[in-house]
Structure 1
Amino acid sequence: MNSLQDALYNWLTIKVVIDKRPDDTAAVETEKMFYDILLDNHHLTNIEVTTDEEMYYVEYDQKGERKKQRFPRELIEVMLKQIQKEPEKYRNFSE
């Protein structure tokens, strides 16, 4: 995953899911994978997420600079809304 924007999008999308479904083991594992990409491939630190009615904002440090990207809520919450709409398709299977 070369694009920082894609990596942030993927991580944030699954992070929103685990914020609502903290016991979803597949989501937790996926979030960790994307988070590790942010740390290892893109060298991000101090990642913080805020939101308002329209956007998610991700602030982070990279190479000594504080940076910020934003993503529309409707784009980030697509997966969560799909899971909530059809929870039977997204059951949590214990290890």
Structure 2
Amino acid sequence: MMSLQDKLYNWITIKVVTDERPHDTAASDTRKMFEQLLADEHGIVEPSFTTDEEMYYISVEVDKETKTYRFPRELIEVMLKQICDEPEKYVNYPDS
């Protein structure tokens, strides 16, 4: 079972991709899945995030307490970098 931190890591990683590739249906579906998991399992409806030169900071409210998680940009942006470096491997197939 994934921890809250794992789910937030996966969510922000795929959110970065969908922000750059809004028509990527696979990425969009994956982001929605993680948002649903966060809502269903942790009651988190709208995680917010900020970023600086080194980190992503995600703030969520859990049990009426705000918690902040941080992840290195390099770790979060690796998937987007792979997609940009080899776009032929990440073709978007539209819904039929």
Same fold (TM over 0.5): yes
TM range (shorter): over 0.9
Which residue is 2:53 aligned to?
Answer: 53
Structure 1: 5+ residue stretches without partners:
none
Please, which moves more after superposition, 82-91 or 34-43? Answer: 34-43
TM-score by length of 1: 0.95
CA contact under 8 A between 1:49 and 1:59: conserved in structure 2? Answer: yes
Which residue is 2:17 aligned to?
Answer: 17
TM-score by length of 2: 0.94
Q: 1:49 to 1:60 in 2, by over 3 A?
A: same
Counterpart code for 1:56: Y
Which residue is 1:69 aligned to?
Answer: 69
Provide Cα deviations, 1:18-76, integer angstroms capped at 9, x if missing partner: 00000000000000001111111122244101100000000011111111000000000
Counterpart code for 2:62: Q
CA contact under 8 A between 1:45 and 1:61: conserved in structure 2? Answer: no
Q: 1:5 to 1:83 in 2, by over 3 A?
A: same
RMSD, aligned α-carbons:
0.9
Q: SS of the counterpart of 1:22?
A: coil
Structure richer in strand, relative to its length: 1
Q: Where has structure 1 moved over 4 Å in runs of 4 or more?
A: none
Q: Within 2, Cα distance between the matches of 1:25 and 1:46?
A: 21
Q: Within 1, Cα distance between the matches of 2:2 and 2:92?
A: 30
CA contact under 8 A between 2:25 and 2:93: conserved in structure 1? Answer: yes
In the alignment of these two chains, the number of paired residues is 95
CA contact under 8 A between 1:56 and 1:71: conserved in structure 2? Answer: yes
